[in-house]
Amino acid sequence: MTHIIRYVDGTGRPAIGITGDDRTVRPLATSSLAELFARRLTGIRAAVEEAAGRAPIPDAEPRRLPPVDGRTEVWASGVTYRRSREARMEESGDGDVYARVYHAVRPELFFKSVAWRVVGDGDAVGVRSDSPSNTPEPELALVLNAAAEIVGLTVCNDVSSRTIEGDNPLYLPQAKIYTASCALGPGIRPIWEVADPTDLAISCSITRAGEVAWSAATSTARLHRRFDDLVGHLFRAMASRTA
């Protein structure tokens, strides 16, 4: 099982590598993930497979960094599960907008974070003090290259200030985009190693004082949107933004 990671090397600088079942880290021949993902999928796979033959770095447990860098952006899609639609309708005084976007051809897409604002696995996430209700949102994150190919998968926590969005859907940017509101990691699983991305388990638990206060699970099989549809709409938005 391979994961592409960012880590701090012996000089204190960010570096890119891969880990496997033996948990050792082998350096990958690229200066950044942004540089790696400028390549086509075949080139990325070749680089990862080449790194698998390298000697591991001396540090057995280097400090991990969020698996995103450079000018990479993180975008999110909302109301992609039936339960998400129902919850947003319950919270909002204008629940019809969530019902309509759930069935619409065009998905809800919104900017979430720039790379340098993302926090990594085990780091503290941000919680807005002006929102009494704040929730974690465990998500599957698609890692895309410059050619709009899905090259890998990782885990995302799309932290949300539910009270703010519930007051008015137009407050979505304030509810979703703030310091440390996006967590990614710990690594990226190459897409060619995932048998079926549409049938993956996602679970979340909240513990307080060592006790589980809440837990739930779902599956990507319950997603209402197809991955290729989300990617297509996102890259059309990006193209129009930069034209």
User: What pTM value is reported for the model?
Assistant: 0.92
Tell me, what DSSP letter sits at residue 126? P
Helix ranges (DSSP H) in the chain: 33-36, 41-51, 82-91, 96-103, 162-167, 172-176, 227-242
pLDDT tens by residue, 121-178: 999 999 999 999 998 999 999 999 999 999 999 999 999 999 999 899 899 999 999 9
The pLDDT value recorded for residue 87 is 60
Name the range with the highest mean pLDDT among 35-49, 95-109, 157-171, 208-222.
35-49
Average pLDDT, the chain: 92
Provide the pLDDT confidence category of residue 92 given band limits of 50, 70 and 90.
Answer: low
Q: What is the pLDDT of residue 88?
A: 58
pLDDT for 97: 83
**What is residue 46's predicted lDDT score, i.e. its pLDDT?**
98
Predicted local distance difference test score (pLDDT) of residue 185: 97
What is the token pair recorded at 159?
């932290």
Give 231's pLDDT tier (boundaries 50, 70, 90). very high
Could you tell me if 29 and 80 are in contact, meaning their C-beta atoms sit under 8 angstroms apart? no
Residues 6+ apart with CB under 8 A from 65: 5, 6, 7, 8, 14, 120
- pLDDT given for residue 89 in this prediction: 55
Region 83-92: what's the mean pLDDT? 59
What's the average model confidence in pLDDT over 209-220?
94
Q: Is the distance from CB of 25 to CB of 59 less than 8 angstroms? A: yes
Does 93 score more than 80 pLDDT? no
pLDDT of residue 81: 78
The pLDDT, as a whole number, for residue 85 is 52
- Joined together, the tokens standing for residue 212 give 């589980």
Write out pLDDT tens, residues 4-56: 999 999 999 999 999 999 999 999 999 999 999 999 999 999 999 999 999 99
Q: What mean pLDDT comes out for the span 65-73? A: 97
% of the chain exceeding 90 in pLDDT = 82
In whole angstroms, what is the distance from residue 238 CA to residue 210 CA?
Answer: 43
Q: Please tell me the distance from the alpha carbon of residue 14 to that of residue 8, in angstroms, as a whole number.
A: 5
Give the tokens for residue 41: 């999928």
Query: Mean pLDDT over residues 84-89, rounded?
Result: 58
pLDDT score for 91: 62
Question: What pLDDT, on the 0 to 100 scale, is given for residue 98?
Answer: 84
- The structure tokens listed for 33 are 């993930």
The Cα-based distances of 140 to 129, 154, 184, 200, 240 in angstroms read 27, 6, 10, 9, 26
d(Cα 179, Cα 63) in Å, to the nearest integer?
21
% of the chain beyond a pLDDT of 70: 92
